[in-house]
Structure 1
């Protein structure tokens, strides 16, 4: 403020002096001009006065320029003063705030909880704070209802009818989790299968024909990570990832039941409820695994012939190599090969026989009756199954197929006379396709070398949500259990062909409704040496209500 006052005062004094000088100059000029007129207009004096006037004008210009410069300097100084004042004010304000904060007690962070509860895909999961130990509750319910239009070809056909109705196909509840990051476990019990048994005669079946029992009870170690992949060493009761269809979860398959050729293969020495020990290694492109297998849950096995239905345990092995060699953002190609060996068939210690039966129901479980079956093949020393698998996806489209070759060796030394040829050969396969109308695709599950299910992008909700995901699918499957016909020692298990159409509604990540239509035909003759027709045909419609977490 002082700088501005001084500058303005000095400029005013200079201007006053300049104006005074100018007035004096003008007076002098007038006087000079008057004198010049009276003294004959002296030209020398006029020139001198003009020179002095010009010098005064130049001096006046310099004084004006200096005054403008002083005004700029004063404004700049004023701005600097204001900036300094504001900075000092801000510093004082910060100091006040800091003092006020220092006076407030700071709350320390809450200590980490001992456990963390999460709900991935609505599965209640409890983990320790660092995530090294977890336990989760898992469960699923598959409730089926439907009916058959069954038409036996002749009065000699067995059976003459199939029962329509309902079936709690699966009702599982259990625990799954891990210890110290690398130890994984599962303990799952299945209360379902109310119509899945074989008249109560099968080992492990319950009165009324249902089959229930321990579905999973295993321990797996995953701490070994050779060659940049993931490896698991495991043992117990488990679902073996043998064949592509079996490696796909029952929550994710496109149809209510898997195709008969795969079911017949896995029932020999793999499949659900199977005791096993083995290892698998995988990365994003390759899966390799092998297991030694034993009897299934609930199978009666005893070394004492005095025990009811005394039967020794069976032993087998499975191996699989599969992979996803071609993949991109919205496409993939899957290829694989499988092998299975029944090394020691179950042996009935009372009858001193070793038998194997290949059979399946018509790709539906409302009635437990089998329409194709070899019956109990006697003198079996072993069996082998070899298969190829393939699949491809492109956006919402998936194509999948497998083909199986079954060999049964009849060379057992059981004391019972050997009947027939030393081996039997059967075959079968399926091809299927699915398309998600709402555009979702199926991701690849490298851990099982199979495909995951459909997860709706817009789950169904009446409160402004979507309508879930909708999928249509079709499948054709065929199994031929006939061999060495026209010979007394041949097998007439029958030839079954089933066409299936499906409509699936994925309501959300936990709920699904399935609607299947099946058309099947069974070609079967009365005996290896008789061509009498005892086949049948059928149509069936069934619906499944499914929830899982």
Structure 2
């Protein structure tokens, strides 16, 4: 571009009209050539000055158009869109925008007339501006039509992508199975009391369920178990209505009542094969109505329910006067996700008015299910402790929860008392357990805020031929239950074996090794030593078990 110093020098020389070299030889835009006359030199100088005065405005207009085009192109790239198709519009060459056209009169041919040259320059600028405006218009049309949304969606599109329109009702199939094998070793007294307990191999649980939503505020679950001999059984079959004023979420159906930390932990996520001995007192699955809710950040949860008692395997409530209620409240005292530290506390209460003939509390030594009989499948192990039927007026069950996580170490404990009123006399039946686990491979057991329980362990490196070995966990538990105070009030029955006295107290010591091959596949190894004492004798039974669990 011609600078001011050159123009001033050229102007001074033009009025002197020197002979020899061209007066504009310092202007890089004009080629050196002999001047024909002083008048021609003066005319050329005036044309050059005019062009020089116009050039900044022309460049400014081009720059503004180029900048606008660059902003739109950059926005398209940020959205993950494809670049502008240069074949659909005239290609923009930035170098050409800023490269000045050669001056016509710098050649050997005579320069055009001033008016013609000015018209030619204006026409070129108009053509370039039109080209830029055309490209801007095409880009705007593509943006408006959504043609540029081929890559990463824009921020305005995220909401639609996260919340697509849902057609109700929805349904999702889920399920799992637990295949157990167990070997029993009994001492003399155990053999005399229970007979020869057969080694077990069979499905402890095999369930299929459908879960989904009927509307944006109504959800449901229908779960059946096929592991019980000869019949499928109802498990969790309920419907939830959400966002109900005062109550939060209202549930109707059969489900695990809001009572107990280990009872409300999914069987898919249990550390050991079975729940501890205090499970004998839990109301567990019953048919009724209840509600549950939590504060905004789910550090406090509460739930309550009312139900018929007891409920059979088909969801029916037996008798005409058996009813119960359950309540639970929990608090998350510490939850440091960065340091992997959790401290949970909770309190539970259940009140029961039994139907005729009364109540019965009983349990097995943490292998198999509490379903009675000395032989059979993995759901069929004899009751080691059993009150028989008690002609109780009502009962109150009190339970306290405490659990925590410290990096790869997790633990939990509960203390539970059953206060049974029999003809004006309160019979107190205590139970408790404490358990802990340590994940050898460094994973951390999460906390489930919604259910207020410890959650599922997922391996950081699932088992794979390329070197992953899954997650490995060691665990231990001690549990205790004492039903002996109820023995004087027992009427027998309820699964008591011939020669087995009612009551008794049971101490279980359990150690386990769990291998989490995948988030949905694990193998468990467990050893249980069950030490029983009653009015007849003391005995011990050793149990070794292996479980394979798969869920989806």
TM range (shorter): 0.5 to 0.7
Q: Provide the residue aligned with 2:280 in structure 1.
A: 264
Shift of 1:142: 1.1
Cα RMSD of the aligned pairs, angstroms, is 4.2
1:351 is aligned to none
Distance change in 2, residues 1:225/1:488 (3 Å):
closer
Counterpart of 2:485 in structure 1 is 483
Alignment of 1:66-77 (within 5 A): 70=27
Aligned residue in 2 for 1:404: 416
Structure 1 stretches lacking a partner, 5+ long: 20-62, 110-126, 195-205, 303-309, 348-353, 412-420, 527-532
Q: Secondary structure at the match of 1:251?
A: helix
Pair 1:451-2:454 in alignment: yes
Answer yes or no: is 1:236 the counterpart of 2:253.
yes
User: Does structure 1 conserve the Cα–Cα contact (< 8 Å) formed by 2:180 and 2:202?
Assistant: yes
SS at match of 1:525: coil
Contact 2:389–2:490 (Cα < 8 Å) also in 1: no
Secondary structure at the aligned position of 1:254 is classed as: coil
- For 2:264, the equivalent position in structure 1 comes to 247
Equivalent residue runs for 1:148-547 within 5 Å: 148-153=184-189, 157-194=192-229, 206=230, 212-224=232-244, 231-261=248-278, 263-266=279-282, 270-272=283-285, 274-283=286-295, 284-294=298-308, 295-298=310-313, 311-312=319-320, 314-329=322-337, 330-343=340-353, 345-347=354-356, 354-365=357-368, 366=378, 367-377=380-390, 379-411=391-423, 422-462=425-465, 464=466, 466-483=468-485, 492-526=502-536, 533=537, 535-547=538-550
Runs of 4+ in 1 over 6 A off after TM superposition: 1-4, 7-16, 72-76, 78-81, 86-89, 95-104, 106-109, 299-302, 484-491
Give how far 1:178 is off: 1.4
Distance 2:128 2:280 in 1: 84
**CA distance in structure 2 between the aligned counterparts of 1:96 and 1:342, rounded to whole angstroms:** 81
Q: Which moved more, 1:131-140 or 1:74-83?
A: 74-83
Question: Are the aligned partners of 1:152 and 1:160 in contact in 2 as well (CA < 8 Å)?
Answer: no
* In structure 1, C-alpha distance between the alignment counterparts of 2:130 and 2:533, rounded to whole Å: 99
How far off its partner does 1:297 sit?
A: 3.4
TM-aligned CA distance change 1:265 to 1:131, over 3 Å: farther
Q: CA deviation at 1:404?
A: 0.8
CA offsets, 1:349-371, max 9 Å, x none? xxxxx222111111001342111
Three-state SS of the structure 1 residue aligned to 2:398 is strand
List per-residue Cα deviations over 1:90-136 (Å, max 9, x = no partner).
656657878999999x9988xxxxxxxxxxxxxxxxx9724775321
* CA displacement 1:221-248 (0-9 Å, x = unmatched): 112366xxx8211111112231000111
Spell out, residue by residue over 1:495-538, the C-alpha distance to the aligned partner (whole angstroms, 9 max, x if none). 11111111112222221211111112111222xxxxxx2x3211
Q: How many aligned residue pairs are there? A: 430
Task: Mark the structure with the bigger radius of gyration.
Answer: 1
CA–CA distance in 1 between the matches of 2:512 and 2:207?
24
Give the 3-state SS of the residue equivalent to 2:263 in structure 1: helix
- The residue matched to 1:134 in structure 2 has which SS? coil
- For the residues of structure 2 that align with 1:320 and 1:290, how far apart are their CA atoms? 6
- Give the equivalent residue in structure 2 for 1:201: none
**In structure 2, how many angstroms separate the alpha carbons of the residues matched to 1:476 and 1:325?**
25
CA contact (8 A) 1:513 1:543 kept: yes
Equivalent pair of 1:151/1:161 in contact (CA under 8 Å): no
Higher strand share: 1
Aligned-partner SS, 2:193: coil
Give the gaps of 5 or more residues in structure 2. Answer: 31-47, 60-96, 102-123, 148-162, 369-377, 493-500
- Measured after TM superposition, the shift of residue 153 of structure 1 is 2.1
